[in-house]
Amino acid sequence: METINIVTGDITAMEVDAIVNAANNSLLGGGGVDGAIHRAAGSELLDACIPLGGCATGEAKITPGFNLPARYVIHTVGPIWRGGSSNEPALLASCYRNALLLAEQYQLRSIAFPAVSCGVYGFPVEKACAIAYDVVYGHLQQETTISAVYFVCFNEEIKKAYEQAAARY
């Protein structure tokens, strides 16, 4: 049975097959969750990201997890919020969809997501969490290797937004 879990905590401490990194286009580390993941994984993560040549917004790439409890890091680049008229919702949905497809490709069973684009990229939290939940819920309705998905929230505002999205189902 596939489950969606909404938890508050530190994504770098999640004991899952893969954690998702809300990366920037360079994949070379940054602030927020991206910086935290790079620090926790160790310098090998940067070394693994360099040959990937960056990542387009909405796409996803995978590396080992190195010093993290997670076996893999799936890096995705969310859109910067520009008012909603620059394809931001579709690009954000693509982040989640492509991360899930990579997890499938690697036969992973558990994955943890941060709230992609909800930090400095400024995506409205309720909209972002609803998009994320819809994509993940829809994916789990199909045949999948994934049995557990975690939305790892760094504050109560995000947790509440995910809970509101979940209540629609």
What positions carry a catalytic annotation?
34
4 within 8 A of 149, measured Cβ to Cβ? yes
158 within 8 A of 152, measured Cβ to Cβ? no
Find the helix or strand (DSSP H, E) in which 140 lies: helix 125-140
DSSP for 115-131?
-TT-STT---HHHHHHH
CA nearest to 138, candidates 114, 161, 165, 116: 165
Query: Residue 40: which residues within 8 A CB-CB, separation 6 or more?
Result: 12, 67, 68
